[in-house]
Structures are given as structure tokens and as C-alpha cells.
Structure 1
Amino acid sequence: MNQIDDVSWERSLRSLFGEAMFAAVGPRQSDDWRLDALDVMQLKMDDPRGWLRLAKAPGGRDYGAGSESPFIAVTPADFDSVFPVSRTGAEQVMVTLMSEWFQVEDIPHFSVREVELISHARVILERFGRDALFFTNATTARENPHADMFRREGAYEGFTGHVIDCGVIAVSATEVGIFWGFTID
């Protein structure tokens, strides 16, 4: 794995994600990663490295902490609806968050851009190290954490009040990252 820094992190976040995207990281402070993930989702924690956080609502406005978070109603029990996914699968899900319906068919010029987009997802997830665990709410991972997430069915366990939402949770010994996309209609 390559060492990443704030510049490569920001470049990859901005290359993959735009409007209606949530990308935030917080420190691991609890033995139960779900509690830390919940704090990150509700924007109660700052990035421990001071790196860029993207928290954009559909329409482009910034999400704020607390009641402004799309995850305000999430509880620790809701994490029973996420499924382990391989690092490769997590990278693939991250790429699909670019499209409104989280499918590669909706990403312009995907066949030409696939390698570049996967590279950006890989940079983002490298932050969490080799021993990181990854989870997604894409139900394809329920049966097979090593499934090709580019060819998955479009079914998700929702975490927000949006029509559809999909994402990746990255968990390391020191940090938790939340990377989520939203479809509003």
C-alpha cells in the first residue's frame, strides 16, 4: 500500500464524489465501532487528521451536525443491516456512489474511466490500513462478501429518509470512515 496524505485524500474524494455525498472520518474511541460510526454519521467528530470532510445534501447544501445530519435517526441497532464486504468490493461500492442509482451503467464513460475511479477509491480506503474491516448496506454482500459489487443487484438496507442510500463503512483500529450516497427521487 502507498502512504497517502491530505493532498491525495482530497484529490480522490473530489474525483469520486460531488453533490449529495457524505464522506467523513472520526477517531475510534469505543470498543464497539458502531458507536464511533454513529458519531461520525451525525457529524459529532472531527477528522482526527484534519483532512477534508464532504457532507453535501441533495441539492448541494452542506449537512451540519446533529439534526442536520442525514443519519439523525440511526441507532446502533441499525448497523445490524450492514454486511461485511471485501476491500475490493468496498472499492467497487465507493465507485458506484458516483451515480444516482449506485450502478456503473449510470456513470458516464465508465468503461474508459474504470481503472482511474478504482484507483481513487483505493487511495481513500488505504487510509484505514491493511487490517481494516469494511461494511456496506448493499444486500448483495449479505450472501457473498466477495461478490462483484459492480454487477450487484440494486437492493439496499436504507439508513436515511432518502429514497435510496448506499455506502461503505471503513473500520480500523484507530479510525472509522463513512462514505455514503443518496438518491432523492
Structure 2
Amino acid sequence: MTRIDEASWTLSLRALFGEGMFAAVGARRHDDWRCDALDVMRLATADPRGWPWLVSAPGGAPYPPGPNGPFGTVTPIHFNGVFPVSRRGAEQIMVTLQAEWFQTDGIPNFSAREAELTSHARKVLDRFGEDSLFFTNAVSARNKPHADMFSREGAYEGFTEHVMDCGVIALSATEVGAFWGFTID
């Protein structure tokens, strides 16, 4: 695990996340991490390190905070639809979020870019430290948190009103991150 700084964090976020995607981090302030994750998803908190977020709606406009954002209707009960996933699985899911249906075959030239994209995902998740935990709404993790998430089924427990959404929640003792992609139509 490498030490991450703001420059490498930003570079890796930009390599993985673009228009219509969500990547934000906030501080852990509650005993129940789901409350902190919900604050991040609603953009009701700030990055504790002051590092940038990438939260861009389709068309490139910023996602608004609160009820008009992509997670505006999410409640704590939605977190019953997230499952533990290994660090490797979380990295793989982060890579696939850039594809419309969250599968590797939707990533142009994936076989040539796999190592580079995985390296960026690893750098983003390194921020959370060695003892971090990861969760996803990809149903494949329900019974197999260590499964190869590059070849997972395309079923997800939806968090938003979009046709499909998939993401990773990363937890450390001090921070929580939400990294999400959306299929609009």
C-alpha cells in the first residue's frame, strides 16, 4: 500500500471518474457509518482533507447537494442492499463504473488499459488505509465478497432513481467515501 497525496488522488480520480459519476469523501462522525455515508452521498459534508470531489451529472453540470442530487431519496434502509467486498473486488468495481452497464466489455480497449485503470483504483482506495472496509451494491458480492468483480453478474441493489447504479463505499476509522456510476437510460 502506498501513501497517497492530493496530487495522485486527483490524478487517479480524473482517470476513473467523469461525466455522470460521483466520487466524494467525508469525515466519520457517527457510530453508525451509514449516517456518514448518507452525508457524503447528499454532499452535506466536506472532504476532511480539503481534497477535490468529482460529482458531475450527465451533461457535465455539478450534482446539487441535498434532495435534488442523485442520492436525494436514499434513506438508511437502502444500506441493507450493500454487501462487503474485498479490496481487490472494490478496485475492480471502481474500474467498471466508467462503463455504461458497469462491465469491462463497455470500457474501450480494456485489455490494454486494465493494469493502468486498476492502479488508479488502488491509489484512490489507498487513501482509506490497510484496515479499511469496502461495501458495494453489486449483488455478486452478497455471497462472494472475494469474487472476481470484473466478471460479475450485472445485478445491483439500486440506490437512485436512475435505470441502474453501482458503487463502492470505502470506510476507514476517520473517513468514508462514496464512488458511484449511473446508467441514465
State how far apart, in whole Å, the 2-side matches of 1:16 and 1:41 are.
Answer: 18
State how far apart, in whole Å, the 1-side matches of 2:170 and 2:19 are.
Answer: 21
Segment of structure 1 superposing worse, 121-130 or 57-66: 57-66
Pairwise CA RMSD of aligned residues? Answer: 0.6
Counterpart check, 1:70 vs 2:45: no
Give % identity.
69
Question: What is the CA deviation profile of residues 26-55 of structure 1, one whole-angstrom value per residue up to 9, with x for unaligned ones?
Answer: 000001000000000000001000001011
Deviation at 1:59, TM superposition (A): 2.0
State how far apart, in whole Å, the 1-side matches of 2:84 and 2:105 are.
Answer: 24
Per the alignment, residue 25 of structure 2 pairs with 25
Structure-to-structure mapping, 1:1-150, within 5 angstroms: 1-150=1-150
Any conservation in 2 of the 1:19–1:58 contact (CA below 8 Å)? Answer: yes
Deviation at 1:77, TM superposition (A): 1.2
State how far apart, in whole Å, the 1-side matches of 2:43 and 2:64 are.
Answer: 7
Deviation at 1:67, TM superposition (A): 2.2
Partner of 2:142, secondary structure, is helix
Partner of 1:55, secondary structure, is strand
**Residue identity matched to 1:54:** L
State how far apart, in whole Å, the 1-side matches of 2:13 and 2:111 are.
Answer: 20
Deviation at 1:65, TM superposition (A): 1.1
Partner of 1:143, secondary structure, is coil
Per the alignment, residue 156 of structure 1 pairs with 156
Partner of 1:150, secondary structure, is helix
Any conservation in 2 of the 1:2–1:126 contact (CA below 8 Å)? Answer: yes
**Residue identity matched to 2:48:** P
Any conservation in 2 of the 1:83–1:142 contact (CA below 8 Å)? Answer: yes
State how far apart, in whole Å, the 2-side matches of 1:35 and 1:83 are.
Answer: 16
TM-score (norm 1): 0.99
State how far apart, in whole Å, the 2-side matches of 1:40 and 1:143 are.
Answer: 27
Segment of structure 1 superposing worse, 82-91 or 63-72: 63-72
Structure 1 outlier segments of 4+, above 3 Å? none
Partner of 2:22, secondary structure, is strand
State how far apart, in whole Å, the 2-side matches of 1:74 and 1:58 are.
Answer: 19
Partner of 2:48, secondary structure, is coil
Structure 1 unmatched ranges of 5 or more: none
Any conservation in 2 of the 1:58–1:182 contact (CA below 8 Å)? Answer: no
Structure 2 unmatched ranges of 5 or more: none
Partner of 1:112, secondary structure, is helix
**Residue identity matched to 2:145:** P
Partner of 1:114, secondary structure, is helix
